[in-house]
Amino acid sequence: MLRTEEMLLNVGPQHPSTHGVFRLVLKIDGETIVEAKPVIGYLHRGTEKLAEDLQYTQIIPYTDRMDYVSAMTNNYVICHAVETMMDIQVPERAEYLRVIAMELGRVASHLVWFGTFLLDLGATSPLLYAFRERESIINLLNELSGARLTFNYMRVGGVKWDAPEGWVDKVREFVPYMREQLKGYHSLVTGNEIFTNRVIGVGTYTKEDALNYSLSGANLRCTGVKWDLRKDEPYSIYDRFDFDVPVRETGDAWARYHVRLDEIEESLKILEQACEQFPAEGAILAKVPKIIKAPKGEAFVRIESPRGEIGCYIASDGKKEPYRLKFRRPSFYNLQILPKLLEGETISNLISILGAVDIILGEVDG
């Protein structure tokens, strides 16, 4: 018998498939992973600590940089938290603009995931197709907010800019276009034997595991738990729309893939209805004081971001800066199940598992 040794392999922080600066210390036996230890914190910028010295409006751009793939939902969660504390009623038109912006962001975020996941699996083309569609979304959001990635669009009490003329019609036109493209994705990728081989039964966990690890978003819904805050604890105006919460039962990467692609379709439904109901007139910003001071006390709000439940906790002592600000960052929680999933897997499965979890390092490290 030959003497064999386990090998220590550093995946990341500089690695094509770790989506940023995530590091995994693997103990491998051949290509089989014996033990995996995630190391995070390479992108830590101390958003929460910085926020303690910033006024509420000044915090908003920092939230853009947490989950930079879906900045709109991050904008919303901080504004929503302050609004809850101050009991501000957001004008109708602003709510619709917010919802349209967030749902566009959700579609864009899932498109990025779709593209990069397939790229991780070795298919180069889907990335470019997905980014073509994302580009039209980015252009729409650019017209709305003046930025392509870090929008800084929402304000406490409403939004910063009104929609330019004809913008809502452009969104309306985008919906059928995106539906058409989705069909193309399915015919290119979904039925592909090599692809199904790489995702079916890979990275499987049970409903109990998902709940115990506090997973959320598509990572939870892929195990059959029908939980979406837009439906179950409706915030903003989500109770006005008719949409479904896609679920799958199997809990593997294949289920996560389907949940996300189905979510794009549901988001398109919401967009369609929001454009239909969009009020022609109205204010975009509630009457808020020049300097926002949250009343003494605390508040916690949570909403559904593309990656899961993003929460914002504010403890205020009545000053114009928060006393303590905490974000519940879904990627950070979703990542925790990784060591359990990776044990006994091979390196090529590592890539599909890590990709299917959909982490954004800016959000993991905060």
Partner 1 sequence: MVEELLHSQAGILNFGIFFLLAVVLLFVILGFVTYAILAERKVMGFMQLRQGPNQVGGRWGLLQTVADVLKLLLKEDTIPKLADKPLFIIAPVIAFAPSFIVMAAIPFTDKFQFADLGVGLLYYVAISGLTTIGMLTGGWASNNKYALLGGMRAAAQMISYEIPLVMSVIGIVLLTGSLNLNDIVAAQENVWYIVLQPVAFIIFLIASVAELNRVPFDLPEAENELVAGFHVEYSGFRWAMFMLAEYVYIFAMASLTTVLFLGGWHPLFSFLGFIPGAVWFALKFMCVFFLLLWFRSTFPRIRADKLMEFAWKILLPIALANIFLTAIIKEILNLF
Task: Between 7 and 50, name the residue whose CB sits nearer to partner 1.
Answer: 7
Q: Which residues of 67-94 are buried (b: 16+ CB within 10 A; e: fewer)?
A: bbbbbbbbbbbbbbbbbbbbebebbbbb
Structure tokens at 22: 């995530």
Cβ neighbours of 128 (radius 10 Å):
10
The 198-217 contact track toward partner 1, x by CB under 8 A, reads: x-------------------
185 near partner 1, rule: CB under 8 A: no
Task: Report d(CA 59, CA 50) in Å as an integer.
Answer: 8
Stretch that binds partner 1, among 115-123, 216-224, 243-251, 331-339 (CB under 8 A): 115-123
User: Residue 100 and residue 104: Cα distance in Å, rounded?
Assistant: 6
> Does residue 288 touch partner 1 according to CB under 8 A?
no
Q: What are phi and psi of 281, to 5 degrees?
A: -125, 170
CA–CA distances in Å: residue 115 to residues 91, 179, 200, 355: 36, 16, 18, 10
When the beta carbons of 129 and 205 are compared against partner 1, the nearer one is: 129
Task: Choose the stretch contacting partner 1; rule: CB under 8 A; options: 52-60, 160-168, 224-232, 340-348.
Answer: 340-348
Which amino acid is it at 280? Answer: A
Per CB under 8 A, does 190 bind partner 1? Answer: no
Nearer to partner 1, 58 or 139 (CB): 139
Q: Which is nearer to partner 1, 122 or 289 (CB)?
A: 122
Among 119, 270, 275, 356, binds partner 1 (CB under 8 A): 119
Contacts of 161 (CB under 8 A, 6+ apart): 144, 145, 146, 153, 284
Rg (the chain; Cα; Å):
21
Q: Which stretch binds partner 1 (CB under 8 A): 7-15, 227-235, 278-286, 333-341?
A: 7-15
Pick 30 or 279: Cβ nearer partner 1: 30
Q: Say whether residue 139 binds partner 1 (CB under 8 A).
A: no
Whole-angstrom Cα distance, residue 22 to residue 9? 14
Residue from 147, 175, 188, 225 in contact with partner 1 (CB under 8 A): 188
Q: How far apart are CA 54 and CA 56, in angstroms?
A: 6
- Give the nearest distance from C-beta 128 to partner 1 in angstroms: 4
Does position 129 interact with partner 1 (CB under 8 A)? The reply is yes
Q: Is residue 237 involved in binding partner 1 (CB under 8 A)?
A: no
Q: Is 7 in the site for partner 1 (CB under 8 A)?
A: yes
Using CB under 8 A, list all residues that contact partner 1.
7, 9, 15-17, 31, 118-125, 128-129, 132, 188-189, 192, 194-195, 197-198, 346-351
